[in-house]
Amino acid sequence: MTPSQPHRYRQRIARGALVACLAGLSLLPIVNWIPGGHAANWYDTNTHLWLLGSLIVGAFAVLIAFAVGRYGEVLEHLRARLAAAPQPSGLVCGAALVLAALALYAATASSVFSRKPLLIDELIQLYQARIFEQGRLWLPSTGAPDLFGSLHLVDVGGKVYGQFPPGGPALLAVGDLFGAAWLVGPVCGATAVAAFLVFLRATERGRATRWAAATLFAFAPFTVFQSASHMNHGFTLAALLVATAALAKVVTAPTARPVLALVSGLGYGFAATIRPVDALAFALPAGVWYLTRALRDRGRVRDLLAAGFGVALPLAVLFWYNARTTGAPLVFGYDVLWGRAHSLGFHSAPWGPVHTPARGLELVNLYFLRLQTYLFESPVPALLPALAALALAPALSAFDRLLLASSGLLVGMYFAYWHDGFFLGPRFLFPLTPVLVLWTVRLPGLVRQRFGRGFVHRFVLAGFAVTALMALTLQMPDRASQYRNGLLTMRWDAEGAAAAAGVRDALVLVRESWGAQLIARMWGLGITRSDAEWVYRRMDACRLENALTSAERTGVRSRRALATLTPLLRDSSRVVRSPFSQDPSRGYLPGTPYGGRCTERLADDSAGFTLYTPLLLARRGGNVYARDLHARDTALVRMFPGRPIFVLQRAWAAVDAPIRFYPARLDSLADSWGVAVGSLGSARSGIGR
């Protein structure tokens, strides 16, 4: 046995263990075997679909493989003619691929996502981008977070700003200045494709594998939908791929390349200003590689220093931003909003059960199970080819080890994170897409090396072709239709509707659901976001309504206000889902009498309600949008005297019901609030038009 043989043997054992672990996480319903917590209720349905899809793909692949074997001479002649034909340069092909990807992402952003931020994360980042456009880091607080606040909006110390790091909003601000914030995602997606091409040219020997990997990455459904959205995962992956491509150029160069090393460091550093966890997972192994090379070769010290300087520049901006907003360089907006419970680790979560290793395993299992579908929208489990390729590979290159180490760190960090990151797929694992794509397209070549160009090789190629055809013609259009018809309220054009209704320079009271009002009222009492969520999810809605009314009348705030609610949590174990609402988060304590305000709020919900948060982005028409909190609205009338007043709500209680502006008279509102019209002062003028 040669000295290298034990090392290769250990590598194979480790790789086999990795493949077995990933196969278990991505194919078995471990989440359903752990009592309590999360669940994959859809697993049996997906399993049946995978089996059916695999049978269809397998049957067609067998037929095609036999046909190709019988008529192979004709196909071989055609392949030879194609190989002899003039081929365009790699630069031309690369540019065409990048432009095609950009066009697809932009078309998807327009036709599927309506060029709108659809998730609250996207919306708050665009809101922060518009703060940046004003030359500010934050807006001055109105002192009324219940009327003007939102879930991910920090309103502390007289400052209002988004909870997210500044890198994503900064990119959106650049696009929004040109009236095209919706194009930032597609441009970042196209940048990621270009960077991946550069990386592959530096690290992958096979030309066919390079182009197949770049093409599959560019047009994979997971890539397309994430890149077409306002989500910051695409921004982060673009920065990480630029950094990794520059690193590959540095490592493969015969001499030091400090300029490219600087670009690499800037990429990792900028990614940290968007998603620090993702950046750390990829920058840490890269930093170890830079350091190891510098220790072995003094000529490479310049690369190490340049990369370190590149990382430090964006981090300095990030720490400065944090210091100016939160008051401490290492404290982020979400730390201020949610406290230490928001951070990585096994501890109490901002809401819901305590995050434990068992719950972390549940989440990781869910992420990989979802990847089987959302990665390629294929009729067979999407990770099977990558797992097979990983098992068949004779050895791992240095770049393979780098990417696998980064991927493992990323999964490990989100194993220790309490939140279920699901939107347009398992979004926390989006940075794994290039790695999974690369191993997927390697499978035919590895099969050819192991089994030759016979039936098995033809079967794999035919299976890939049938799978791609089914995904493109059946499953991807269905997914696009699903996304296109979802989150309709977030797409509503408030500014256009206001102009059409003649609503201008008005005070608009936005009627939200009773549950949303209860949570906002707790914010108004100074109760933290995490405590408000904790109380709301464990208390009967009517009991909470009465307790908040009492606290508002007596003027208690903050910890004292929370203390008045805490005794009511003694019955939290008996609270069930409310039979009076379709909202699964609203609680009901059996036997609790509902009357007075509680009955009124239920009637309001039955009449129709909408969402306030999307209206944070409304800029035209001079209207002021605020959350309708009934008697609390007297403060609004005093803040904005002389404005006509409208109530904004759905025409009736249905998701597809139209959202309308209803004019309101001050005397009628004052009567419902139980206050005298005269107490509102000069606010009477102009009301009731």
| Closest among 262, 250, 192 to 222, alpha carbons compared | 192
pLDDT of residue 178: 95
Q: Are 473 and 412 in contact (CB under 8 A)?
A: no
Shared-domain flag, residues 550 and 636: no
The conformational region for residue 622 under phi > 0 = left, psi -120 to 50 = alpha, else beta, is left
d(CA 271, CA 283): 9
Q: Is the pLDDT assigned to residue 689 strictly greater than 60?
A: no
Show which of 567, 596, 625 is a domain's final residue: 596
Q: Which residue has the tokens 């980042």?
A: 125
**What is the residue type of 15?**
R
Residue 687 — very low, low, confident or very high, per pLDDT cuts 50/70/90? very low
Residue 563 — very low, low, confident or very high, per pLDDT cuts 50/70/90? very high
Q: Are 390 and 63 in contact (CB under 8 A)?
A: no
pLDDT of residue 69: 81
Angle between helices 167-177 and 232-252 (to 10 degrees): 110
Average pLDDT of every residue of the chain: 92
pLDDT of residue 583: 77
Whether 92 is covered by a domain: the verdict is: no
pLDDT of residue 110: 97
Give me the sheet containing 624-627, strands edge to edge. Answer: 624-627, 507-510, 645-650, 659-664
Shared-domain flag, residues 580 and 616: no
| Closest among 541, 518, 525, 544 to 630, alpha carbons compared | 518
pLDDT tens string 192-239: 999 999 999 999 988 899 999 999 999 999 999 999 999 999 999 999
d(CA 649, CA 509): 9
Shared-domain flag, residues 443 and 461: yes
Six token digits for residue 54: 């695999």
Bridge partner residues of 508 (DSSP): 625, 646
Whether 148 is covered by a domain: the verdict is: yes
Six token digits for residue 369: 């199970």
Q: Is the pLDDT assigned to residue 1 strictly greater than 70?
A: no
Mean pLDDT confidence for 136-153: 95
Six token digits for residue 508: 């608009």
Whether 75 is covered by a domain: the verdict is: no
Q: Are 198 and 160 in contact (CB under 8 A)?
A: no
Residue 7 — very low, low, confident or very high, per pLDDT cuts 50/70/90? low
**119 phi and psi, to 5 degrees?**
-110, 150
Q: Is the pLDDT assigned to residue 676 strictly greater than 70?
A: no
Shared-domain flag, residues 202 and 117: yes
* Neighbour tally for 291: CB within 10 Å: 15
Shared-domain flag, residues 459 and 498: no
pLDDT tens string 460-471: 999 999 999 999
pLDDT of residue 686: 34
Whether 621 is covered by a domain: the verdict is: yes
pLDDT of residue 683: 44
What residue numbers bound the domain in which 617 lies? 492-511+608-689
pLDDT of residue 76: 66
* Cβ partners under 8 Å of residue 504, min gap 6: 498, 621, 622, 623
Shared-domain flag, residues 266 and 368: yes
Whether 314 is covered by a domain: the verdict is: yes
Using CB atoms within 10 A of its CB, is residue 456 exposed (0-12), middle (13-18) or buried (19+)?
Answer: middle
Q: Is the pLDDT assigned to residue 657 strictly greater than 60?
A: yes
Give the chain's length: 689
d(CA 645, CA 667): 11
Q: What is the share, in percent, of the chain residues with pLDDT greater than 70? A: 95
Residue 688 — very low, low, confident or very high, per pLDDT cuts 50/70/90? very low
pLDDT of residue 340: 86
Q: Are 195 and 245 in contact (CB under 8 A)?
A: yes
| Closest among 117, 1, 119 to 425, alpha carbons compared | 119
pLDDT of residue 431: 98
Domain count, the chain: 3
Q: Are 202 and 249 in contact (CB under 8 A)?
A: yes
Six token digits for residue 43: 């697993």
Show which of 535, 568, 596 is a domain's final residue: 596
Least confident of 78-87, 144-153, 308-317, 609-618: 78-87
* Cβ partners under 8 Å of residue 143, min gap 6: none
Shared-domain flag, residues 169 and 118: yes
Residue 9 — very low, low, confident or very high, per pLDDT cuts 50/70/90? confident
Six token digits for residue 544: 């909470």
Whether 73 is covered by a domain: the verdict is: no
Shared-domain flag, residues 286 and 139: yes
Shared-domain flag, residues 404 and 368: yes
Shared-domain flag, residues 502 and 393: no
Shared-domain flag, residues 206 and 353: yes
| Closest among 510, 515, 554, 558 to 533, alpha carbons compared | 515
Q: Are 381 and 473 in contact (CB under 8 A)?
A: no
Six token digits for residue 288: 């170890």
**Alpha-carbon torsion, ordered 94, 95, 101, 102, to 10 deg:** 150
Using CB atoms within 10 A of its CB, is residue 564 exposed (0-12), middle (13-18) or buried (19+)?
Answer: middle
Residue 674 — very low, low, confident or very high, per pLDDT cuts 50/70/90? confident
Q: Which residue has the tokens 């419970």?
A: 341
DSSP per residue, 562-631: HHHHGGGGGGGGG-EE-TT-S-TT-EE-TT----THHHHHHHHHHH----SGGGGG--GGG-EEEE--GG
Q: Is the pLDDT assigned to residue 681 strictly greater than 70?
A: no
DSSP per residue, 438-504: HHHHHHHHHHHHHH-SSHHHHHHHHHHHHHHHHIIIIIHHHHHHHHHTS-HHHH--HHHHHHHHT--
pLDDT of residue 467: 96
Bridge partner residues of 510 (DSSP): 627, 648
pLDDT of residue 503: 96
Whether 78 is covered by a domain: the verdict is: no
Q: Is the pLDDT assigned to residue 345 strictly greater than 90?
A: yes
Q: Is the pLDDT assigned to residue 682 strictly greater than 80?
A: no
Shared-domain flag, residues 11 and 136: yes
**What is the residue type of 431?**
P
**What is the residue type of 649?**
Q
Q: Which residue has the tokens 């464990």?
A: 538
**Alpha-carbon torsion, ordered 389, 391, 396, 402, to 10 deg:** 80
User: What is the C-alpha end-to-end distance of the chain, expressed in Å?
Assistant: 93
d(CA 173, CA 335): 23
Mean pLDDT confidence for 336-359: 91
Six token digits for residue 506: 């008005």
Bridge partner residues of 645 (DSSP): 507, 664
pLDDT tens string 157-186: 999 999 999 999 999 999 999 999 999 999
Bridge partner residues of 588 (DSSP): 576
pLDDT tens string 592-616: 999 888 999 999 999 999 999 999 9
Whether 149 is covered by a domain: the verdict is: yes
Mean pLDDT confidence for 44-70: 93
Show which of 561, 596, 631 is a domain's final residue: 596
